[in-house]
Structure 1
Amino acid sequence: MSVTSSRLSSVSSILKGPGIRAKIINQANRVQFKLPKNLKDILLSFESGTSHKQYENLVCTIRDSEIRESELIDLLTETHACISLLGPSHRLFIEALLTLNWTTRSLQVTTIYKGFLEDLVSAHNYHAKLIIDKLVDRFKSEEDDNTTEWEFSKSKNQDLQTLRHVHDVLRMLMKIIPMATDVLLQSLVANYPYWRLNTQRHEIYIYALLQILEYAPHLRSDILSLIINRLIVLDVYAPRSEIDECEDDEDMEESDDAAQIIFALDEVQGDAIKNEKQKEIRKMKHPVAHTLDVCMEQVLAYIYNCCHNQGILNWESLKSLYHDVLKMFEQIILPTHASQHVQFIMFYICSFKPTVSEAFVNWLWQKVSDPNVAPVIRQSSVSYIASLLARATFIQLEMIKTTLLKMSMWIHSYISSQDSLECANSDVRVHGVFYTVCQAMFYVIAFRHKHLVETRKNLLFLQSLNLTKIIACRLNPLKVCQSAVVRNFAAVTRTYQLAYCYTIIEHNARSNLPVVQSTNRVTLWLDTFFPFDPYILLRSGSRFTSIYMVYQGSVSDEESTLTTCRDDNDDDDFMDETSIPLSSSCNHMDVFSYGTSPGFLQL
């Protein structure tokens, strides 16, 4: 073997060693940082236009090199001495300094860096926006991938350390620069994660936003509005039908098996193992729904902590938060039709004190009874009233009766105004608010009938509503309202002899039969929904278990008859119309389901 060949083989054998080739490549691409001795001259030469080469090399070196702690300290110290020179023309140099990984360094480095930023913005407000944008950009995990959940990731401590340093600088900027607040809000909006990004990005970003409120409480309305706006987007892109498809039978069986394992482990090894296993199970399989679930839990936790001090309710804090969230509800949630979970933020706040829930219902009713409000908002408002009264366990019976009385008086007044006309408008859309109020009233009576007939006094109250006149008026609400609600309402009113609806229902059914060569057939449609239908997100849903009412079925004296008419596996059936013939001898009150929400089409 020649000398040349032996040398080639030896070099080849070395390069074949594990990791040697990669190490050599990395060393070749790594830029070694060396602090220039004439930093001030470089800055002056660039600003005067006499020399650009050294300045550009300096910027590239800072941006691309691996700077050791001692070198970074020297660089910051030297740069700090030249702060008066760092005007708008040195934006590239400042941007390079802001890209440095300083939040994970030693306490000495982070302290010097924060001091440098403070003096920089004090001398040159021009750089405030750039600094704030770069700081907000750090509101993301160092391990930003699609497989890691930030709450349980190994990088959480490092992320929290980064956030602490970032918030220290933001707090400082808001004290010394008046315009920093507006710039910060603009940056928070611009950098909010896109809805398709993984749960980790959303979770840590919302966590960082809520931390800002600790030192800038005056931004609460703006930041909560931003969060709710983006949660609405997630909610719309996670429809109930898609979530149900993801929770297939096989997955549900796995969850049941896991729950049995938890129960067994709890008996042997205690609550600690149970809690850890529950964390593993309580995860939505729909990716967007899981992101929404995690974010909703963060927001609900913030709301609770904001209104409670060591578990004791603070009335002033609750009142202030309620008014802030009410504005967001009016501007964002109320006009949104397809949301299913975000509106439960208001449901949760109302559960803290009856005074709040009463104020919320009264506020909604003002919307309903105001003719100057857009009809779609009036319809949405009355749907919120009906759903809250039906579903909230914290709503007192007197409040339900008071609201039903208001609805009844409004309905009778509307009927009287139409009866006074020689020819009422037959277009259903003209009377949309009337039909929605009727449906809300029917829905509440059918859903809460057990509480409304417990005493003779309450039964007399229902009789005083004069339901017979409502269902028999020429506007014929039983024909337009959801058949799901109508059937349940009819069953309740017949049982307690409040009204008899079945004759009208059967007449409406006959009049809706198709007629050959008929051109006058009218399609009746009422677009409404029940916004507080069952909350199906797993993790955040645990907060509503004790304050949410599930439909309780029929009256007790007919339970034996109704057993043959219902599916015992349906915990909360509002209506399964296909299983209820019109002339069935079974009572229909116990078949409540949210399957027909948010709308229906009856021909």
Structure 2
Amino acid sequence: MGVQLAEGHQVETEDVNFTDLEVSYHVRDALKSASLGQSDSYHDLLGVLHHTERLTPDEVAMLVTSLKALSGAVSYIDSDHHQMLLSSISGMSLWNYGPDVMDVLVELVVALAAVSGKYLHLCLDMLVRNFVPPLSFLRLLQQPRGLAKKEQVLCRVHAALKEIADLVPLAPLRLEKVIKERMPHKSSKQPWILSVMYVENMLRLDGGAMGDLVGRTMLVEVMNRIVELDVEIGWDELIADDSNKGMFEMELEEQEMSSEAEISKEKISRDSSIQKTLSGNEVAEHLDLLMVFIFEHLKTCHASGRLDQVFEVLLLSFQSTVLHAYKSKFSQFVMFYACSLDPVNYGERFANMLLDIYKNSMYVLEWRMGAVSYLASYLSRANFMSASFVVSVLESLVDWCFTYCKGHNGETNPKAHRVFYSGIQAIMYILCFRMRSVLGVPRIESQLSLLPIQAILKHSLNPLKVCLPSIVHEFLQQARAAQLFSVSEDFHLYGVLESEVSADFGGLERLDMFFPFDPYLLQNSDRFIRPNFIFWSMVRTTYEDDDEDEDEDGDQSEGSTDEDIENDSRDDDRIAMSFEDDLAIDEFDNSLNKMSITPKNYNGAQLQGYKQMPSRIRPSASPVSL
């Protein structure tokens, strides 16, 4: 049956034929009659709108014509007399109809929003609710036709929102409010995939024609949701749910292994257990997919030249939420990835912001300590930050700490001088990762050797007795091997056994022990972070033997000469270390065993004889050692 929808043609339904013009007059009369208390034709109209399941071609034609007629009669719609009609329109889901019905329904919603400000919220709310499909549609999204349907719906929704914004100046502000109100709650019983789709649409608004109008709010709200999910993932709960609790241990106790093969076997077992635990955690899987979306969004913004304005929002969002989120595990990596897209403009700016917060006494102590922990972890892990910039930050940190020492000659007091101790710990932590790389560049080596690090460490505030012994030990071991300054036996003992003041300063579950950019453990989104990340196994310490490194790790290619390698190390602008850019995703399993977790039965005496960076501050051991 051929149904023509053009003006003047007939619409056939059962035994009755109507022209479009006749339907239009009928709709207007129905609206008028409802205002006069005569409701028969009005209820007939409502019946057409309510009929959604298995529409015949005739019924589709009638629905299309009725919606089209309503678009031309929006001035007759009155909220006092046509509340049921307005409710029917707002309850219609684009997902239930084909393209013809979707087009006229969107046309009606836009016309209704433009004709009167009192219908604006209703229309925006209706469109925002179409960000996600009805529950019955979720399974179809796994099929190609479901994805095609999704694009059909969302392209119309976003086009309608832009058209309304052009017609009604207040629409963007109202839209922000509606989106906040409709955002699925993290504790909602609805499938979490709906929340992911909702966030996908928020990012689509930021990246589309509405970006200049509502993009800032969308990004802030997305980051808030990511932080909410992040802090909801409790490691204690994961530990309790897993029978193999040993995988979370810091490995601070002396372990006697009969062979490296046994060590490797144990690591693989721990890695698999951690991945299995995270994979079974619904919140972690939810967050993982959100991180994929925002990483892809940032990548697109960078390609289109929009990352400047996006980065401004991310930077402010980081300061207001992420920086103060207690031991967030993943949300900070949004900044990490954004910085990796442009290390000079964004990477250095992020680091300088953290440095400024730490040095500024206007900020509360917890913020300053958190900022320097972020700074230390960031500069240690980001392989895109140059050695020269790292040393410039170290110079600034050392200068601040040296000035602090000159103004404080008291005895060791972890609580009174915790900002100072946090700064010293950050300096040592960065050098644990970067010492060999920065000493490989003569100009930078001379800068580092001139810093008054030894004077600070020997000050009466005794930072070596207060900072985490594992960091102190590794730092002094590398400093001695590099002959950075004189490391006496008394110095070295500070890194072996935790003192009471160190326990008081570090303590269990304290921010002082927090290094935020520890290995990233979300499997799907890991591919964005891994190529830019420094794992501890990649670090060449100053006490390692070059020949053994080349034999075991294959760092030196067959055709390379010692002269070639030395020339490479003298490039001031080279990245601090060389890393594989395309580490395979399937290696993820082998990188989870050294999570930043402090067990409840932590005992400082276990540090005796320890010769490596602990998992508390050590990244996951990568399968590739460079």
SS at match of 2:109: helix
Structure 2 counterpart of 1:206, from 199, 209, 225 = 199
Which region of structure 1 is more displaced relative to structure 2, 131-140 or 188-197?
188-197
Structure 1 counterpart of 2:431, from 442, 445, 449 = 445
Deviation (angstroms), 1:77 = 4.0
Q: CA contact under 8 A between 1:379 and 1:436: conserved in structure 2? A: yes
SS at match of 1:594: coil
1:359 aligns with 2:353: no
Q: CA contact under 8 A between 1:122 and 1:176: conserved in structure 2? A: yes
CA distance in 2, matches of 1:301, 1:75: 41
Check 1:487–1:241 CA distance in 2 against 1; reply closer, same or farther (3 A cut). Answer: farther
Structure 2 counterpart of 1:481, from 467, 487, 496 = 467
Structure 1 counterpart of 2:90, from 88, 98, 101 = 98
Deviation (angstroms), 1:389 = 0.9
Show the counterpart of 1:27: none
Show the counterpart of 1:140: 132
Structure 2 counterpart of 1:227, from 216, 222, 225 = 222
Which amino acid counterpart does residue 120 of structure 1 have in structure 2? Answer: L
Show the counterpart of 2:457: 471
CA distance in 1, matches of 2:548, 2:593: 17
Structure 2 counterpart of 1:415, from 401, 405, 417 = 405
1:527 aligns with 2:511: yes
Q: CA contact under 8 A between 1:104 and 1:162: conserved in structure 2? A: no
1:402 aligns with 2:384: no
Which region of structure 1 is more displaced relative to structure 2, 291-300 or 108-117?
108-117
Cα-to-partner distance string for 1:209-248 (whole Å, 9 max, x where unaligned) = 2222311121221111111110111111124555678788
CA distance in 2, matches of 1:195, 1:153: 28
Deviation (angstroms), 1:40 = 4.1
Q: CA contact under 8 A between 1:143 and 1:155: conserved in structure 2? A: no
Cα-to-partner distance string for 1:464-485 (whole Å, 9 max, x where unaligned) = 2232222222222223222221
Deviation (angstroms), 1:188 = 1.1
Deviation (angstroms), 1:329 = 1.5
Which amino acid counterpart does residue 527 of structure 1 have in structure 2? Answer: L
Deviation (angstroms), 1:459 = 4.5
Show the counterpart of 2:183: 192
1:557 aligns with 2:545: yes
Cα-to-partner distance string for 1:507-560 (whole Å, 9 max, x where unaligned) = 79999579xxxxxx9676462311111011111111122211111264323998
1:302 aligns with 2:297: yes
Deviation (angstroms), 1:406 = 0.6
Which region of structure 1 is more displaced relative to structure 2, 73-82 or 55-64?
55-64
Deviation (angstroms), 1:195 = 2.0
Check 1:527–1:342 CA distance in 2 against 1; reply closer, same or farther (3 A cut). Answer: closer
Unmatched segments (≥5 aa) in structure 1: 1-33, 253-280, 515-520, 562-567, 598-603
Deviation (angstroms), 1:167 = 1.6
Show the counterpart of 1:340: 329
Identity of aligned residues (%): 21
Which amino acid counterpart does residue 328 of structure 1 have in structure 2? Answer: S
Q: CA contact under 8 A between 1:199 and 1:294: conserved in structure 2? A: no
1:289 aligns with 2:274: no
SS at match of 1:324: helix
Rg larger in structure: 1
Check 1:386–1:102 CA distance in 2 against 1; reply closer, same or farther (3 A cut). Answer: closer
SS at match of 1:169: helix
CA distance in 1, matches of 2:460, 2:150: 65
Deviation (angstroms), 1:285 = 2.8
SS at match of 2:152: helix
CA distance in 1, matches of 2:85, 2:336: 51
TM value normalised by structure 2? 0.71
SS at match of 2:310: helix
Which region of structure 1 is more displaced relative to structure 2, 318-327 or 359-368?
318-327
Deviation (angstroms), 1:72 = 0.6
1:34-53 matches, within 5 Å, as 39-48=27-36, 50=37
Deviation (angstroms), 1:125 = 2.0
CA distance in 2, matches of 1:485, 1:492: 11
CA distance in 2, matches of 1:43, 1:64: 19
SS at match of 1:545: helix
Check 1:145–1:504 CA distance in 2 against 1; reply closer, same or farther (3 A cut). Answer: farther
1:377 aligns with 2:367: yes
CA distance in 1, matches of 2:41, 2:353: 66
Structure with the greater relative contact order (CA < 8 A, sep ≥ 6): 1 or 2? 2
Show the counterpart of 1:161: 152
Show the counterpart of 1:325: 314
CA distance in 1, matches of 2:447, 2:151: 58
Deviation (angstroms), 1:581 = 6.2
1:71 aligns with 2:62: yes
SS at match of 1:339: coil
Q: CA contact under 8 A between 1:375 and 1:433: conserved in structure 2? A: yes
Show the counterpart of 2:209: 215
Which amino acid counterpart does residue 402 of structure 1 have in structure 2? Answer: S
Unmatched segments (≥5 aa) in structure 2: 1-17, 248-275, 550-589, 620-626
Structure 1 counterpart of 2:487, from 496, 500, 505 = 500
Q: CA contact under 8 A between 1:354 and 1:395: conserved in structure 2? A: yes
Q: CA contact under 8 A between 1:384 and 1:530: conserved in structure 2? A: yes
CA distance in 1, matches of 2:498, 2:530: 44
Which amino acid counterpart does residue 527 of structure 2 have in structure 1? Answer: S
CA distance in 2, matches of 1:107, 1:527: 55
Cα-to-partner distance string for 1:21-59 (whole Å, 9 max, x where unaligned) = xxxxxxxxxxxxx999965455335435x4568756864
CA distance in 2, matches of 1:145, 1:82: 32
Q: CA contact under 8 A between 2:413 and 2:461: conserved in structure 1? A: no
CA distance in 2, matches of 1:359, 1:467: 25
Show the counterpart of 2:108: 116
Check 1:41–1:403 CA distance in 2 against 1; reply closer, same or farther (3 A cut). Answer: same
Cα-to-partner distance string for 1:144-190 (whole Å, 9 max, x where unaligned) = 688x5956676222222211221222121111011110111111111
Which region of structure 1 is more displaced relative to structure 2, 429-438 or 394-403?
429-438
Cα-to-partner distance string for 1:563-586 (whole Å, 9 max, x where unaligned) = xxxxx99876889997996663x7
SS at match of 2:183: coil
Check 1:198–1:489 CA distance in 2 against 1; reply closer, same or farther (3 A cut). Answer: farther
Q: CA contact under 8 A between 1:232 and 1:342: conserved in structure 2? A: yes
CA distance in 2, matches of 1:582, 1:592: 9
Which amino acid counterpart does residue 323 of structure 1 have in structure 2? Answer: E
CA distance in 1, matches of 2:350, 2:178: 33
Structure 2 counterpart of 1:182, from 144, 154, 173 = 173
TM value normalised by structure 1? 0.74
Deviation (angstroms), 1:288 = 1.0
Show the counterpart of 1:256: none
CA distance in 1, matches of 2:432, 2:478: 6
